[in-house]
Structure 1
Amino acid sequence: MKKQILTVAAVVAAVLAAAPPAVAADPEPAWHAGVPPLATPWTDQVGPDNALPEYPRPQLTRSRWQSLNGVWQFARATAGQAVPAGQSLAERVLVPYPIESALSGIQRHEDRMWYRRTFTVPSGWNINAGNRLRLNFGAVDYDAKVYVNGTLVATHRGGYDKFDADVTDALTGSGEQELIVWAEDLTDATGQPIGKQRRTSDRGIFYQGSSGIWQTVWMEPVPASSITGLRVTPDLKAGVLRLTVDVAGRDDLQVKAVARGSGAVAGKIQGPSGTELALPVTRPHLWSPDDPYLYDLDVSLVDGKTTVDKVGSYFGMRSVGTAQGGDGRLRITLNDKILFHMANLDQGFWPDGLYTAPTDAALKWDLKKDKEMGFNAVRKHIKVEPDRWYYWADKLGLMVWQDMPAANTGPIPEAWRGQFEAELHEMVREHQSWTSIVAWVPFNEGWGEWDRAATGRIADQVKGQDPTRLVNAHSGVNCCNSKGDSGRGDVIDFHQYLGPASPRPTAERVSIDGEHGGYGLKVANHMWFGDGNAYQMTPDKATLTSRYVQNQEDVLTSAQRCGISAAIYTQLSDVEGELNGFFTYDRRVTKMDLAQVKAVNQKIVAGADGTTAGIPQPDPGTPGLTGVAFWPLDGSYGDLTPVGDPAFTDGHTGQGVAFNGSNQFLDAGRPVLDTASDYSVAAWVKLDKADGAFQTVVSQDGAANSDFFLQYSGADQRFAMSFAGVRALAPAKPEAGRWYHLVGVRDSVKGELRLYVDGALAGTADACLPQAAPTGHTVVGRGKFGGNPVDYLDGVADQVHLYDRALSADEISQLHASNQ
């Protein structure tokens, strides 16, 4: 028997030796991070076990919860595809990083996608034995469907707001449960709100999009009757916190709330849920950027003496408003005191995570740097952040101007307008308890705007929804695709690069510089595309810092002379092709001397306090209507030098000088006007054409741009008295071949430009910032912009007068009549 066994064994061994080797099973797919063009200091800290592990909802906390961030299965989806329940998907993605990001491990765009994972509910949560299981999503871009064990438990549209679902009834037993998420994000192919996301970056001001799950996913047990939301609003005048507790389940339960400051009870109240309660706060310690004091808040849902549910939260006591300063101008207040908002523009993009910061420490880092640089405010630019960003703004003490993410830059298609408005109001609803948020901004530079009246209506509706904050109906109302000022909201907001902008407040609305700056510096090996752009590039750190400081000194002047209440510098960090940050896109290189940055920012906040700054009174100037220079151009150029061989021709009075629109002008060889004071410029002009091209009649060269332009504005097809970016415009298009008498006036005391056409006032524009002393020659027949000669006159000029004072309306009427 033993011999037989040995023989069989020998045979088996021989067969195994002759057989081909067994085919190994396919290895389980694994997640691998992609390689971003730039890595931040936090990139390597991200992995499957620590993908944003912090509790994601600081204003409504629970002790029991479980993060579902981590490695999920992933696959491209097609329209109409069946749910892949019970099927393993081929790829692995790290949630919650958007799929285009390197940290996701996918690093490509898909219009539609599947996510899949399993989870197990902890047995101690007592689901179906008094508790329910709630599944929470911070944000999914853009349309989402959620399935648990093949059952559809939630659908949601909107890339910036939260949603959740009670999934208890979809659970099967106590073992593993299957969770599948379908997402669709067509980004800029639709009318959906997208902010600065694009499927393909333009290497300019728009960036790589972020699709799918991009904020934390988590689950938690909640009682059958539970607290679903808190609405907290400080009321300093009444000395209370106005608190509404939203509840699911029974509506006959009571709410108990206790506020604590530094561990001591500061106030408490009990009352019905769903009703506004006035929680008294004894001797409130106010929140401000210099002292961001926060109270703890415990809220319980009770049935008699039995606690049914309990959550934690916090709040700050502060008020936002407006008041007239000592200079008579309306200004922004915090806690009933005028406070200038020195803000940084924050795009919220990361080279490794795109829309999602790699870690919570990275999210905090940006805001912490704002504080270290002397900023007291931040504009969250057409993006909505995860809750923990606002938590850090509350904790660190930064006032937030919150934008609504824009749709495409053109008008939102009619079919999408209701969705835009719904998402705007949902953004306000979800964020109206954050202490740091002080203003809502529905529109930016006209992007998506379809009608000026609709913009005003929307601003009014947001104000009605939240009357405790400012509403900035339209940031950059002077810019780009704007339909014009609706006159609604609390704020007049201009953008100007390099700026600063200097709109003046009215009796009802404060004014701000919504964007300015944009100075850039290239830093080798720290640029997304290996190159990039800025509004003005500088050669080195010292020059960049110097330009920033000088620009900010102008901000202080604008605050004191023009009355702006806030200024927003572009921007915190480089983003892709934009190289105008304080830091490189990877946050590894500091591009300015931050000590100088902080010093000038603090100087602005201290000096822009609304007290009377005093405007220097100009000298009376030379009397009479001849002026400090008069060129009749009757067969003689006087002391002007002709360039390009312009020719004498029939003028308005006698002869004038004809210009060909390409290279001809007259040069005074010196600056005739002291542009640091008041002045006026007059001339007769006849245009040979009036189309989309700019034509300048009289100007004076500055360092980069003309100090002023008496001109025909091709962009507006109207006459204008202009500074770069500021135009006092005539109301109608002029006729080619007809003589017009133009007078431009610079009035520094009133802070405006005025244009007169044929002896009558035709247009005015705010120009309250003082001008620098002259640096270039006075010229007739062209302008200067961006360092280059431009806007050559195609027509005839005659009877040119220059004055070292602001002519009165009567004098201008007399001058016009005398030349008739």
Structure 2
Amino acid sequence: MKRISLAFLSLFLCVASVWAMPRPEYPRPQFERADWVNLNGEWTYSFDFGGSGMEREFYKSNGFNDKITVPFCPESKLSGVGYTDFINHFWYQRPITIPQEWNGKNILLNFGAVYYKSEVYVDGVLANRHFGGTSSFAVDITSLVKPGQTHSLVVYVESDLRGAKQAGGKQNLQYASYGCNYTRTTGIWQTVWMEAVHPEGLQSVQVLTDIGQQQLVVRPRFYKEQGGKLQVTLKDNGKVVANQTVSASSLSSVVLPVKKMKTWSPESPFLYDLEYKVLDKNGNIVDEVKGYAGMRKVHIEGNKIYLNNKPYYQRLVLDQGFYPDGIWTAPSDEALKRDIELSMEAGFNGARLHQKVFEERFYYWADKMGYLTWGEASSWGMDCNDTETARNFITEWSEIVQRDRNHPSLLIWTPTNEEFWPDRVQYPRLMHDLYNLTKLIDPTRPFHGASGGTHIATDIWTVHNYEQDPAKLKDKLYNGGKLMEAPKWEIHLMPMNIGYNGLKYTDQYAFPEYRKDMPYLVDEFGGIKWNPAQQTESAQNTSWGYGEPPRSLEEFYTRLEGQVDAVLSLSNDIWGYCYTQLTDVEQEQNGIYYYDRTPKFDMKRIHAIFSKTPESK
């Protein structure tokens, strides 16, 4: 009886520890291994305001004096720190114990995201250096640790947000939040975890869904190729649909025929389960990964976006992905799911994920719930004319595309937002590089270079317009049969030097104009400022939004419906919209919901407005 009680107590304490751990769920649901250790929770930390931590050998630390809760950034309340001034240098430390049963396997230390530059040390030895604040990365620490032993893990973080060489998104460049710029995020802001992987294990997969030929194609990559096999199984609610075994080689392609295919769409978000098994030369399973896939196709014909070969009108909402207590980090997995539920309850069928790379768990819920998404980088704050900045951004963007390209809910890639740079050499060069790189990594989606900005290389044409009067909005979007152009700079003839003989010639770069040969969307409009207290002068001075706020709630509904109707009435030429925005964010008060996600309006009326389609208007 005593043994049973002790066993029960041990199980209870184990379950309780999981419940107490922040963000305990596996962070990579499309590529999931069973053998992993979540490193979220209590770490120690130290500020390094003078940047002298290296001289003081902080990388050798066995523990700093203060404590922080990971994966929440030090600016957030949930981290337990709540320091909101600029943080240029920051150090983390925690012990890590390597399970004895991991002997003989490669031990990977995974970071969902660390803003911005990070260095990882194990027992004072540099294991990895990473640039990019929103992309995931893995560090192989096998040579630095021993199974059954405990080691000191130190992570050093640098961020120079004002230096204009790193993408910052909506992080504000002043001390305090202002306008549509908000509290900063520094350091670890997504889950950190360890996992054991066989040396011949699966490194990644690219999943290509071919609904035209009724098949699914998997392109694998391996850590090491030793003549083994890869077995891929596709299941429909536990029933095997297709199974294929090929050589465990990065040159192999696995082709799975899918009879009576069930396609993925917002109306029917069906997901097939995928199982990957790596077998050695003797037929033993050495690595096993679980994932899923949604069979769908997105493409462009003329001025429309098609989903599964049918024109699909997108009614999107701008989602900033900020939280009052976690800033860039959702307080829970349920909070990610709830944001999608709130958007759908408001009548939207998707979201433009704005100026932030959302974590994979958000895409997981979007995949499961049938919610369209546009993937966007946090491009604001960087100088696109600077070549070092371009290199930083291109590297980070390539990692973003590779991480998220298998998610069926993600329809469009958008690397930048509102780029109006007057430079006629480096900016066009960057846009063309991003276009070509993205198409190489993922040829299955349209590329949308600069949302509402100066379009150089793009498959989609977008504009932003916050005109508050519905009639004037319609006129500005469609004036005399001519669609509104994205803002652009005047480009003049300029001399340029070439070669070594001093020869000069004149050159001119003309930014493209819209020719009605691609989809045209209004991917930012509305932004109607509303707060019940905004009639007071103090509220007017402390909040921000677009235009003059309505004088009454009824006037709000009238203006909102008028704006939506104005866009819908132009559906022969405008094929979708994105309304600003899902929630208030700090001082910006133009959300459909308050910052704490409680409703601001009669949601039945809101849903009736945003669920309209060009046919139902």
The answer to whether TM tops 0.5 is: yes
Aligned with residue 68 of structure 1, among 39, 45, 51: 39
Q: In 1, distance between residues paired with 2:192 and 2:216?
A: 31
Q: In 1, distance between residues paired with 2:392 and 2:293?
A: 31
CA contact (8 A) 1:134 1:164 kept: yes
Match status 1:242 vs 2:242: no
Cα deviation for residue 530 of structure 1 reads: 8.7
Match status 1:493 vs 2:470: no
1:670 matched to which residue of 2? none
Taking every aligned residue pair, what percent have the same amino acid on both sides?
32
2:354 matched to which residue of 1? 381
Q: RMSD between aligned alpha carbons?
A: 2.5
Cα deviation for residue 410 of structure 1 reads: 5.1
Cα deviation for residue 105 of structure 1 reads: 1.4
Structure 1 residues 438 and 516: CA distance shift in structure 2, 3 A: same
Worse-matched range after superposition: 167-176 or 384-393: 167-176
CA contact (8 A) 1:127 1:168 kept: no
Deviations 1:738-793 (A, max 9, x none): xxxxxxxxxxxxxxxxxxxxxxxxxxxxxxxxxxxxxxxxxxxxxxxxxxxxxxxx
Deviations 1:92-130 (A, max 9, x none): 11100011111111212421111011122233xx233x3
1:340 matched to which residue of 2? 313
Q: In 2, distance between residues paired with 1:47 and 1:518?
A: 40
Q: In 2, distance between residues paired with 1:463 and 1:335?
A: 20
2:511 matched to which residue of 1? none
Deviations 1:175-234 (A, max 9, x none): 322111111111233310111112534410111110000000011111122112121111
Deviations 1:27-52 (A, max 9, x none): xxxxxxxxxxxxxxxxxx99993211
Q: Which secondary structure state, in structure 1, belongs to the residue aligned with residue 570 of structure 2?
A: helix
Largest Rg, 1 or 2: 1
CA contact (8 A) 2:279 2:287 kept: yes
Counting only pairs closer than 5 Å after superposition, residues 84-233 of structure 1 correspond to structure 2 as 84-108=59-83, 109-123=86-100, 126-128=101-103, 130-172=104-146, 174-199=148-173, 200-233=175-208
CA contact (8 A) 2:118 2:129 kept: yes
Q: In 1, distance between residues paired with 2:309 and 2:199?
A: 43
Cα deviation for residue 523 of structure 1 reads: 4.3
2:3 matched to which residue of 1? none
Structure 1: runs of 5 or more not aligned: 1-44, 325-329, 478-483, 609-820
AA partner of residue 441 (structure 2): Q
2:283 matched to which residue of 1? 305
CA contact (8 A) 2:30 2:290 kept: yes
Q: Which secondary structure state, in structure 1, belongs to the residue aligned with residue 35 of structure 2?
A: coil
Aligned with residue 538 of structure 1, among 547, 550, 563: 550
1:587 matched to which residue of 2? 597
Q: In 1, distance between residues paired with 2:377 and 2:169?
A: 8
Q: Which secondary structure state, in structure 2, belongs to the residue aligned with residue 279 of structure 1?
A: strand
Q: Which secondary structure state, in structure 2, belongs to the residue aligned with residue 520 of structure 1?
A: coil
Deviations 1:241-260 (A, max 9, x none): 12112111234222111111
TM-score where L is the length of structure 2: 0.84
Q: Which secondary structure state, in structure 1, belongs to the residue aligned with residue 218 of structure 2?
A: strand
Aligned with residue 293 of structure 1, among 260, 265, 270: 270
Q: Which secondary structure state, in structure 2, belongs to the residue aligned with residue 208 of structure 1?
A: coil
Q: In 2, distance between residues paired with 1:405 and 1:120?
A: 35
Deviations 1:123-178 (A, max 9, x none): 3xx233x3222111111001111111222211111101111122122125623221
User: How many residue pairs were aligned?
Assistant: 545
Structure 1 residues 141 and 48: CA distance shift in structure 2, 3 A: farther
AA partner of residue 135 (structure 1): L
Cα deviation for residue 605 of structure 1 reads: 5.6
Cα deviation for residue 467 of structure 1 reads: 2.1
Counting only pairs closer than 5 Å after superposition, residues 273-288 of structure 1 correspond to structure 2 as 273-274=249-250, 275-288=252-265
AA partner of residue 554 (structure 1): A
AA partner of residue 583 (structure 1): Y
Counting only pairs closer than 5 Å after superposition, residues 323-722 of structure 1 correspond to structure 2 as 323-324=301-302, 330-408=303-381, 411-446=384-419, 450-451=423-424, 453-454=428-429, 455-477=431-453, 484-486=454-456, 488-498=457-467, 499=473, 501-502=477-478, 503=483, 506=515, 508-524=517-533, 531-536=542-547, 537-560=549-572, 563-588=573-598, 590-604=599-613, 606-607=615-616
Q: In 2, distance between residues paired with 1:409 and 1:416?
A: 7
Instruction: Pick the structure with more strand per residue.
Output: 1
Q: Which secondary structure state, in structure 1, belongs to the residue aligned with residue 231 of structure 2?
A: strand
Cα deviation for residue 524 of structure 1 reads: 4.9
Q: In 1, distance between residues paired with 2:421 and 2:293?
A: 34
AA partner of residue 169 (structure 2): G
Counting only pairs closer than 5 Å after superposition, residues 49-60 of structure 1 correspond to structure 2 as 49-60=20-31
Cα deviation for residue 600 of structure 1 reads: 2.5
AA partner of residue 314 (structure 1): Y
Q: In 2, distance between residues paired with 1:118 and 1:461?
A: 39
AA partner of residue 353 (structure 1): G
Q: Which secondary structure state, in structure 1, belongs to the residue aligned with residue 20 of structure 2?
A: coil
Q: Which secondary structure state, in structure 1, belongs to the residue aligned with residue 166 of structure 2?
A: coil
CA contact (8 A) 1:379 1:400 kept: yes
Deviations 1:481-525 (A, max 9, x none): xxx432x32111111003464548745311111100001112459
Cα deviation for residue 376 of structure 1 reads: 1.1
Q: Which secondary structure state, in structure 2, belongs to the residue aligned with residue 565 of structure 1?
A: coil
Q: In 2, distance between residues paired with 1:448 and 1:95?
A: 37
Q: Which secondary structure state, in structure 2, belongs to the residue aligned with residue 103 of structure 1?
A: coil
1:18 matched to which residue of 2? none
AA partner of residue 464 (structure 2): H
Cα deviation for residue 606 of structure 1 reads: 4.3
1:253 matched to which residue of 2? 228
2:296 matched to which residue of 1? 318
Deviations 1:593-620 (A, max 9, x none): 2212222322226448xxxxxxxxxxxx
CA contact (8 A) 1:195 1:382 kept: yes
Cα deviation for residue 464 of structure 1 reads: 3.8
Structure 1 residues 64 and 127: CA distance shift in structure 2, 3 A: closer
Cα deviation for residue 388 of structure 1 reads: 0.1
1:675 matched to which residue of 2? none
Structure 1 residues 306 and 382: CA distance shift in structure 2, 3 A: same
Cα deviation for residue 559 of structure 1 reads: 1.4
Q: Which secondary structure state, in structure 2, belongs to the residue aligned with residue 559 of structure 1?
A: coil
Q: Which secondary structure state, in structure 2, belongs to the residue aligned with residue 458 of structure 1?
A: helix
Q: Which secondary structure state, in structure 2, belongs to the residue aligned with residue 160 of structure 1?
A: coil
Q: Which secondary structure state, in structure 1, belongs to the residue aligned with residue 205 of structure 2?
A: strand
Q: Which secondary structure state, in structure 2, belongs to the residue aligned with residue 278 of structure 1?
A: strand
Structure 1 residues 507 and 519: CA distance shift in structure 2, 3 A: closer
User: Higher relative contact order at CA 8 Å, sep ≥6: structure 1 or structure 2?
Assistant: 2
CA contact (8 A) 1:58 1:388 kept: yes
AA partner of residue 215 (structure 2): V
Structure 2: runs of 5 or more not aligned: 1-15, 468-472, 485-513
Cα deviation for residue 411 of structure 1 reads: 3.9
Q: In 2, distance between residues paired with 1:46 and 1:535?
A: 46
Structure 1 residues 489 and 46: CA distance shift in structure 2, 3 A: farther
Q: In 2, distance between residues paired with 1:528 and 1:62?
A: 50
Cα deviation for residue 423 of structure 1 reads: 1.6
Q: In 1, distance between residues paired with 2:608 and 2:388?
A: 49
AA partner of residue 522 (structure 1): N
